[in-house]
Amino acid sequence: MRNLVRSTPVRMAVTSALVGLSAFLAPSAEANSVVSTVPAVGAVLSQAPNAVSVTAATALLPDGNSLTVTDPNGLKVDDGSLTIADTTAVVGLTPLNVTGIYTVAYTLLSATDAPVTGSYTFLFNAPASITSPSAGPIPTVSSPAIPKKSTGSSSASITVFVFLGIATIVALFLLWYARMIWIQARKARQRHKHERGGK
């Protein structure tokens, strides 16, 4: 009985130690964590990405995950189209046009482990924008002014020419008529003088 009593606590202690040691030494295959990101953590980009992805160590639940991207001013630049593909969460981006540090924040849910929450940043150097010359005064090259013929002035010119033509015709007619009258009057005088001389 003494041996049994003495051996029971020893066996219990050994068993507890073995269980604790096995739990400590067991690989944490089920522990979830982030294994890769696109863009990479701290990446420096000169070309704007069209999406951001975060890949975890274990498969993600189809719902409840979140992945957001904000620009250097804290404005949201992801389009909200979050897609889950096995261990990877992907969200689309709107066109990036601000140079600076962008922040990616994520919450990933796994069926086998606690949620993984975190954030990381990447730097985007926006290409130099083409400035519009309308910002300053625009130098203009003056060209010789070409008078435009308006419809009104053309009509007026035609009217003047018509009146001049009519006036010329009337003047010629009056001259011809006056000459005819003068000739007839001269003939009448000569005839009258001739008749008087005959008497």
pLDDT at 129: 63
pLDDT at 138: 60
Q: What percent of the chain has pLDDT over 70?
A: 69
pLDDT at 40: 96
Give the number of other CB atoms < 10 A from CB of residue 70.
Answer: 17
Give tens-digit pLDDT for 32-55. Answer: 889 999 999 999 999 999 999 999
Q: Please provide the average confidence, as pLDDT, over all residues in the chain.
A: 79
Give tens-digit pLDDT for 105-126. Answer: 999 999 888 899 999 999 999 9
